[in-house]
Structure 1
Amino acid sequence: MLSKNQIKLISSLQKKKFRDQYQLFVAEGNKLVSDLIEAKTEIEYLIHTKEWYQESTISTTLKANQIIETDSIQIKKISSLKTPSSVIGVFKMPSQKIDESLVQESLSIVLDDVRDPGNLGTIIRVADWFGIKHIFCSPDTVDLYNSKVIQATMGAISSVKVCYTPLKNLILNYKNTDFPIYGTFLEGDIIYKCELAKKGFIIMGNEGKGVSPEIQELVTNKLYIPDFPCGEAASESLNVSVATSIICSEFRRKEF
């Protein structure tokens, strides 16, 4: 069973300041925990019910004090979900070291102040699907290890590097005549008619304000996702994660 100190520690990880302090985060659910373990994400504790253990096919080399069998009552105390899972993993935050040479020759997503945890988690999942290995976030973007972000990634967090950095400095470090900076704007060129490169930054803005003026000035290629039929009334805008999916799909389509 979990000790009082372990319950206190794990419960505290629902807050960013304690995640940062202990360099730990929580993942819940069989698939998510399994994917992180298979990706060799270092684990601090694997907490599970007896029923889960009897049915599990997860293979680990954890020490005895890292595997904790408990009951649904204790699971509920440390879970952030309305309907708690039968397995919870407490993982160490992995290194997010960026491969600069790979960034220079590939597509990366750049998030300018995206605040919704579900959006960030979904964008990470989209990046993984389309083979995009790096996401750069402004310092004010929602925390990667927020429990809602982790759940929304569906395990893709183990495959995509996510780095928080001042965006202006980042873009200026890479921006040159051979490295395009893409962004979506109402006055942009229709994406379906554009020549799209196999490398560059794809900048996605805040849910309400879009791309900030400072970053807009650095965009070299403005794109627009048109509504259909053109000119008829439609939704005011697309959700940022939906827009990211459409854009990434179009970039990859052009490679076929």
Structure 2
Amino acid sequence: MLTKNDIKLIARLKQKKYRIQEGLFVVEGIKTIKEFIESSFKLHQIYTTETFGLSTSLETIISETELNKISFFTNPNTALALFKLPDVIENKEASGLIVVLDTINDPGNLGTIIRLCDWFGVSKLVCSKDTVDCYNPKVVQSTMGSLTRVKIAYVDLECYLETTKLPIYGTFMNGENVYKTNKLPQNSILVMGNEANGISSNIEALVSKRLAIPRFGNIQETESLNVATATAIILSEFKRYV
């Protein structure tokens, strides 16, 4: 049975401060929930119209009407689950390609970039502290389970980049044509900037190699690509010769 306290708790988890306070975040949809259950994330409670066959202490059977009350979706998908926030990931130097995000604001963009990292085998994503929270319900949903496979750290970007030994690549309108660049190293950092303003000036100063995606169309009104789309193109070029 769904209680008023359940409804109140879930509604509060839409906001980051309450997710931190409660140590919980929301996952919706059977397929995505199953991926989280099978991962290292710890299930706190699941509210579902169809049993998952879990322990009765973790599973609450509810009606579709009750699911509508707690879901963040316009069209709820059978189940909503609460998972415990993981421990904060330590910021350790890693090998391989690392994607760094400088102030990404849109949950959909972050979710898509997490999926892209998963697709291209990028296991670590480093975000500025003012990038949208990866446990925002919209981010979680748009990752389609990839959040279980990509490690995400929120750091002081300037300090992080100042201390790394890896080459730092960044995307700019006036950078080198990425299609004409020599083989891109797999042990490196790729910085992607804010949707409206790109890479901030203090981070730009730390970039050692500037890349650009050339525009082939004639329509000058198209000022730039969506950051998630640009990330897909650049990651594809990094993986071209793997």
TM-score norm. by structure 1 comes to 0.90
The structural deviation recorded for 1:35 is 0.9
Task: Summarize the alignment of residues 1-80 of structure 1 with structure 2, pairs less than 5 Å apart.
Answer: 1-49=1-49, 52-53=50-51, 60=54, 63-80=55-72
Q: Distance in 2 between matches of 1:18 and 1:94?
A: 15
Map of 1:126 onto structure 2: 116
Map of 1:250 onto structure 2: 237
Equivalent position amino acid for 2:26 in 1: V
The structural deviation recorded for 1:123 is 0.2
- SS at structure 2 position matched to 1:32: helix
1:190-230 alpha-carbon deviations (Å, 9 max, x no partner): 1111121111111000000000000000000100101115x
- SS at structure 2 position matched to 1:243: helix
Map of 2:219 onto structure 1: 233
TM-score norm. by structure 2 comes to 0.95
The structural deviation recorded for 1:254 is 2.2
Residue 92 (structure 2) aligned to one of 83, 100, 116: 100
- Count matched residues: 240
- SS at structure 2 position matched to 1:169: helix
Q: Distance in 2 between matches of 1:10 and 1:233?
A: 46
Q: Distance in 2 between matches of 1:15 and 1:46?
A: 19
Hey, which of these two has a bigger chunk of helix by percent? 1
Residue 202 (structure 1) aligned to one of 190, 199, 211: 190
The structural deviation recorded for 1:12 is 1.1
Task: Summarize the alignment of residues 77-226 of structure 1 with structure 2, pairs less than 5 Å apart.
Answer: 77-98=69-90, 100-101=92-93, 103=94, 105-174=95-164, 176=165, 179-195=166-182, 196-226=184-214
Query: Is this contact kept in 2: 1:181–1:220, CA < 8 A?
Result: yes
Equivalent position amino acid for 1:37 in 2: I
Query: Is this contact kept in 2: 1:96–1:161, CA < 8 A?
Result: no
- SS at structure 1 position matched to 2:239: helix
Q: Where do 5+ consecutive residues of structure 1 fail to align?
A: none
Q: Where do 5+ consecutive residues of structure 2 fail to align?
A: none
Equivalent position amino acid for 1:134 in 2: K
Q: Find runs of 4+ consecutive structure 1 residues off by over 4 angstroms.
A: none
Q: Distance in 1 between matches of 2:18 and 2:25?
A: 9
Query: Is this contact kept in 2: 1:11–1:77, CA < 8 A?
Result: no
- SS at structure 2 position matched to 1:25: strand
Query: Is this contact kept in 2: 1:204–1:240, CA < 8 A?
Result: yes
Q: Structure 1's 99 and 137: CA in aligned 2 closer, same or farther, altered over 3 A?
A: closer
Equivalent position amino acid for 1:200 in 2: S
The structural deviation recorded for 1:152 is 0.5
CA RMSD in angstroms, aligned pairs only: 1.4
The structural deviation recorded for 1:153 is 0.3
Q: Distance in 1 between matches of 2:233 and 2:53?
A: 37
Percent of aligned pairs with the same amino acid: 42
Q: Distance in 1 between matches of 2:86 and 2:101?
A: 20
Q: Structure 1's 189 and 237: CA in aligned 2 closer, same or farther, altered over 3 A?
A: same
